Amino acid sequence: MRPNLHVLLHNRVTRLLETPSSTKLATPLIRTVEFADENTRGDAGDLTALGINPIVNLPDVGKNLSDQAALVISWSVNSNDTLDNVNNNATLRAELLEEWKEDKSGPFVGSGSTHVAWLRVPPNSSIFDVTGDPSSGENSPHYELFTVDGGFGAPTGTGHFISIGIIVVSPASRGTISLHSSDPFDPPIIDPRYLTSEFDIFAMREAVQSARRFIAAPAWNDYVIGPVGAIANATTDELLDIFIRQNAGSPAHPVGTAAMSAKNATFGVVDPDLQAKGIMGLRIVDASVMPFITAGHTQAPVYIIAERAADLIKEKWNLQ
């Protein structure tokens, strides 16, 4: 155990105090923004309006919130051998969990998702007549489809199902996180603004249609019975848009609210060394520093950021 590492569980940090060494901030993204603002480092106008005296003016704290809208669609199937048996039977679930704990075998070895596809909106789509491509390039996906052997997400009732999870992985919509008050224990105001860009709703609609085409393939003829829930009635683009807006949620991949920028840039929150701008000795090491969301899940990129931060800190203190 390192003598200079202290891990405190179920605690909330409300203030930074000046110390002889540097401080690293690694928290859930929402808490990073809340913490930065509470410590009077954020948009001076926003802080002043709440009766907080700003010390450092960083207008981009809490801006540029980017998350990927997600949706799940399920179909009933002609089978009695799906993960619904596990999901709907607490006794069986407990037995299988013990099996996994004992020798790492059984259904809990996998995630439940057996296939993943990373796909793009067709290049000749009408959406590109009115807006640009938010992805990082022609080989980067716009959306993800993944299959689940059973009901997944919203309740599907009793029976057996196959589900497809859908995520718009290159969103153009941007939201904000801001303080609700000067009370550090008051939850922040989170406005993700999902599906507010024309591209995002178009991409989600295309992704749903892509999932439908996949399930309609002849290989599923004797297996898939039919769609479950309100998606069955979404027979036009207008009705599908309503279904999407009423059922889409978050896959918990938010980034961007303490975005990185060049050292001499007048925008952004941290520099390429993860140092908070205008603040000596403070680094932010979490998903909030990513100025754009990766066209995929964010867990591995956060690991990479953390490893890079560790190297920077060791270099700073001449550590091996």
Torsion angle of the four alpha carbons 28, 34, 35, 37, in this order, in degrees rounded to the nearest 10: 150
Instruction: Report yes or no: 176 and 63 within 8 Å, Cβ to Cβ.
Output: yes
State how far the Cα of 263 lies from the Cα of 260, in Å rounded to an integer: 9
Q: What is the DSSP letter of 61?
A: T
Question: Among all residues, which ones are annotated catalytic?
Answer: 253, 297
- For residue 72, count CB atoms less than 10 angstroms from its CB and return exposed for 0-12, middle for 13-18, buried for 19 or more: buried
Torsion angle of the four alpha carbons 264, 267, 273, 278, in this order, in degrees rounded to the nearest 10: 80
* Closest C-alpha to 312, from 20, 28, 24, 19: 24
Buried b / exposed e over 238-247, threshold 16 CB at 10 Å, is eebbebbeeb
Q: Which runs of consecutive H residues, i.e. helices, occur in the chain?
A: 29-38, 44-49, 84-87, 90-103, 198-215, 237-247, 299-316
Residues in Cβ contact with 208 at an 8 Å cutoff, skipping those fewer than 6 apart:
71, 73, 166, 231, 234, 240, 244
Q: What is the DSSP letter of 107?
A: G
